[in-house]
Amino acid sequence: MRSLLHITVTGLALLWAATVQAAPTVVQASAGWYHTLFVESDGSLWAMGANGNGQLGDGTTIDRHVPVMIVPSNVVAVAAGDNFSLFLKSDGNLWAMGANGNGQLGDGTTTEQHRPEQIVFTGGVTAISAGGAHSLFLKTNVLWGMGLNADGQLGTGNSTDIHGASQLLTNSVYGIAAGYLHSIFLTTDGSVWTMGNNELGQLGDGDTSETTRYSPVEVLTNHSVFSGGTAVYAGYLHSLYIYVQPVLNYSLWGMGDNLVGDIADGGDDTRYSPTQIPGSGVTAAAAGGGFTLIVESGGSLWATGTDIDGQLGNGQSGQFAVEYSPVEIEPSGVTAVSSGYGHSVFIMSDGSLWGMGYNFYGQLGVGTNAINTTVPVRIYPPLQLLITQTSVSGTNLVVQGNNDFFIGQVFVLASTNVALPLNQWTGIWTNPVVTGPFNFTVTNAMRPELPQRFFRLELVGD
């Protein structure tokens, strides 16, 4: 694959310099059904993937196969739903865009919005979550929500949709997750609560009759063993939460659909009550469309469940590609994960965003559509080369700079004159580290038969 690097070098006295700048970093990401949002360290909001309902917020309904900037600054959190999006600004106000047929944007209408619109004007919003067609957010530990409520996912005691942002509970809530047709939240006493659709036990209340809950029910957690929940996650038909055991051992528990190993406990039976997932020291997780991602202490990434589109990132895909127990995808360095219906994204400790799985709409942001990937690919920032100096030594071209490329890339010196191709001149970068300074020489780059000497330096690699 050719990179985006195109540097034109002209003339015999090749001296060119540039200031080495730090690469941008990603601080948060959210995978929706078929689109992805992320926030850069400067507070800018970026989006890619499906955009048929304006969920990317760029003013169009055109799918985007590479990241596009939506908001230039002050964004601190994002949440991608089925075909709509939420984001939170540093002033504590909530914004939304995309599908709105059930009022999930919270603007009091059912009209979809192709550009961000402000929903909360009084600040105070501290957390957001986007589900199938409903939204949840917190204001000073008070739960608010809007959107689809046919299955009681808003916990109001009835099945009436809510089109404007409304207070749902006065409980002291500090963790929220909106699933496809259900919701899960934590209260300040460490208890875990659920509401909504219970088709395959995703509410974890032990009810094998799969009764829909229109009001919150407490999950069957063992208060005599655990000191409290710390995080919750809601997927398509399963739920996860992290609980603290003695000696601060953070364990992951799951309930709901387990036909293809969603719960990661090694079996395939529906779990109507919470079951512990193997492993310890869990720091983060994500529940997707029939699969689960897990981050353990040290930053190792594990995955389990269906892998039909390569969303687990273990190099496999297909109808029968299933993992019933967690398999390691990355040994270290992962700090955050998010999962959509058929794709996954994660952030590395260097601030780079990676993804794998379904990519029909360009939700992986790598510039191609309809090409799934079964192993993690780097999404953002794009691979960068920063040239600090070029010089001529006899007939050789010497290039120095700093990079964040991988080992084994090939630099090709090509002519801008198509009648005089120069692609036989190559310099192999052999820098033994992934990132850092480089210095390489392109031999016989200066050719007397080319008096204008217009060259283009390109990068070629996998």
CA distances, 273 to each of 175, 290, 310 (Å): 20, 18, 29
Instruction: Indicate if the pLDDT at residue 425 is higher than 90.
Output: no
Could you tell me the pLDDT band of residue 406, with boundaries at 50, 70 and 90? very low
Q: What is the rounded distance in angstroms from the CA atom of residue 251 to the CA atom of residue 275?
A: 11
Question: According to the model, what pLDDT value does residue 370 have?
Answer: 77
What's the N-to-C CA distance of the chain in angstroms? Answer: 5
Q: Considering only residues 396 and 136, tell me which one the structure prediction assigns the higher pLDDT.
A: 136
Mean pLDDT of 156-181: 94
CB 363 within 8 A of CB 380: no
CB 138 within 8 A of CB 112: no
Tokens of residue 254, six digits: 């799951």
Question: According to the model, what pLDDT value does residue 438 have?
Answer: 72
What does the DSSP 8-state code read for residue 246?
Answer: G
Number of alpha carbons in the 13 Å side-chain half-sphere of residue 403? 24
- Integer-rounded Cα Rg, in Å, for the chain is 25
Name the architecture of domain 26-380: 7 Propeller (2.130)
Question: What confidence tens digit (pLDDT) does each residue in 284-336 have?
Answer: 999 999 999 999 999 999 999 999 999 999 999 888 899 999 999 999 999 99
Could you tell me the pLDDT band of residue 132, with boundaries at 50, 70 and 90? very high
- What would the DSSP string read from start to end of 356-413? EE--TTSTT-SS-SS--EEEEEEEESPP-EEEEEEEEETTEEEEEEEE-PPTT-EEEE
Q: What is the rounded distance in angstroms from the CA atom of residue 16 to the CA atom of residue 327?
A: 47
Mean pLDDT of 72-84: 98
Tell me the backbone φ, ψ of residue 262, rounded to 5 degrees: -55, -40
Where exactly are the structural domains of the chain? Answer: 7-21+384-460, 26-380
Question: What confidence tens digit (pLDDT) does each residue in 12-62 have?
Answer: 233 333 333 456 799 999 999 999 999 999 999 999 999 999 999 999 999
- The SS3 call for residue 146 is strand
- The SS3 call for residue 145 is strand
Question: According to the model, what pLDDT value does residue 225 have?
Answer: 52
Question: What confidence tens digit (pLDDT) does each residue in 240-253 have?
Answer: 999 886 666 788 99
Mean pLDDT of 362-373: 88
Question: According to the model, what pLDDT value does residue 9 have?
Answer: 38
Question: What confidence tens digit (pLDDT) does each residue in 206-218 have?
Answer: 999 999 999 999 9
In degrees, rounded to 5, the angle at the alpha carbon of residue 288 between the alpha carbons of residues 284 and 293 is: 35
* Cα dihedral 43, 83, 342, 236 sign: positive
